[in-house]
């Protein structure tokens, strides 16, 4: 589990898939990713699905399709 948003939200692993939960344990982003990071300063969340990388927003919407071999934020 990776804590972010000042302890309000967490990247978590469940049954070998990653998602995001809040402090109440409610699922914010479903557990369907191979890996998920914490958001950058703009709220972009890098993640990996089926071996390809992309990016989500804080609501779990795909903002960069999962077609890349890697993603890097500066």
DSSP 1-29: -EEETTTTEEEEEETTEEEEEETT--EEE
User: Residue 32: what pLDDT?
Assistant: 95
| Three-state secondary structure call for residue 64 | strand
User: Residue 3: what pLDDT?
Assistant: 57
Q: d(Cα 74, Cα 28) in Å, to the nearest integer? A: 25
pTM: 0.81
Between strands 27-33 and 17-22, the pairing is antiparallel
41 or 64: whose pLDDT is higher? 64
Under the banding of pLDDT at 50, 70 and 90, the label for residue 31 is very high
Under the banding of pLDDT at 50, 70 and 90, the label for residue 37 is confident
Q: What is the mean pLDDT of residues 37-56?
A: 91
């Amino acid at each position: 589990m990776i804590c972010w948003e000042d302890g309000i939200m967490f990247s978590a692993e469940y049954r070998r898939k990653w998602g995001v939960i809040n402090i109440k344990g409610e699922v914010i982003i479903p557990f369907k990713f191979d890996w998920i990071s914490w958001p950058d300063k703009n709220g972009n969340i890098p993640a990996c699905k089926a071996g390809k990388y992309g990016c989500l927003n804080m609501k779990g919407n795909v903002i960069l399709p999962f077609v890349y071999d890697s993603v890097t934020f500066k």
